[in-house]
Amino acid sequence: MDIQPKLIVFSAPSGAGKTTLVRHLLGIEDLNLAFSISAASREARAGEVDGEDYYFLGIPEFKKRIKANDFIEFEEVYQDQFYGTLKTEVERLWAQGKNVIFDIDVVGGLRLKKKFPDRTIAIFVKPPSINELQIRLKSRKTESPEKIAMRVAKASTEMATAPQFDIIIENDDLDAAKLRAEQVVRGFINKKVRSEF
Ligand code: 5GP
């Protein structure tokens, strides 16, 4: 049995540090990871690049793609803010023989796990506390106070989903979290699984 390309899912409340962990892992060459660029209905923030950070579709186009059944999973993560994984994106990266790494919300993460149970490891990144999360989001200065409040309010519900994930990584010490993430991902991608296709 061959080693099949895998899906590595990182989910967490906004501000928990999952993006930092994902970026760290992408820098480790022998893990052979490629980032799944999600589609988003929102506008690009300063510094974000279309086709690198997200495929910025806008709401009408995003809805059109939902109707066309183009997504493996999608979610209205915040009101009127849609995010989703395009089938073509995962196919593109698997065609390159890459393990695909995702930075997606908890619902999307668990959905991917359900679709590809053997090929997927679903990792939940846990912030030290909701309070700490709020501090991190404020210092990031990428969102308005209303949007920060929305994200913090959602965080408690998201935290409750942690037990459904394969692994929980506590992110109170970033270096330790990076090491743990590397160890977990390395172990998983070296594991043989049966093909689900
Ligand atoms: P942001 O607007 O801060 O870039 O992302 C907001 C949230 O959407 C984050 O929790 C992020 O993980 C999630 N997200 C990004 N891409 C996807 C996706 O393809 N599917 C789902 N379900 N969530 C996503």
Distance 188 CA to ligand 1 centre (A): 23
> Does any domain span residue 2?
no
Kindly give the number of the ligand 1 atom that is closest to the alpha carbon of 103.
12
CATH number for the domain harbouring residue 36: 3.40.50.300
> Does any domain span residue 176?
yes
Distances from the Cα of 195 to the Cαs of 4, 5, 36, 117, in angstroms? Answer: 7, 9, 20, 11
> Does any domain span residue 73?
yes
Distance 9 CA to ligand 1 centre (A): 12
How many domains is the chain partitioned into structurally? 1
> Does any domain span residue 1?
no
Tens digit of each residue's pLDDT (9 = 90 or more) over 114-160: 999 999 999 999 988 888 888 888 888 788 888 888 888 888 899 99
Domain range for 21: 7-189
In the structure encoding, which two tokens stand for residue 51, read together?
A: 């086709």
Residue 74 to residue 111: CA distance in whole angstroms: 9
Tens digit of each residue's pLDDT (9 = 90 or more) over 7-65: 999 999 888 889 999 999 999 999 999 999 999 999 999 999 999 999 999 999 999 99
Ligand 1: residues with CB < 6 A are: 14, 38, 73, 75, 77, 83-85, 103-105, 107-108
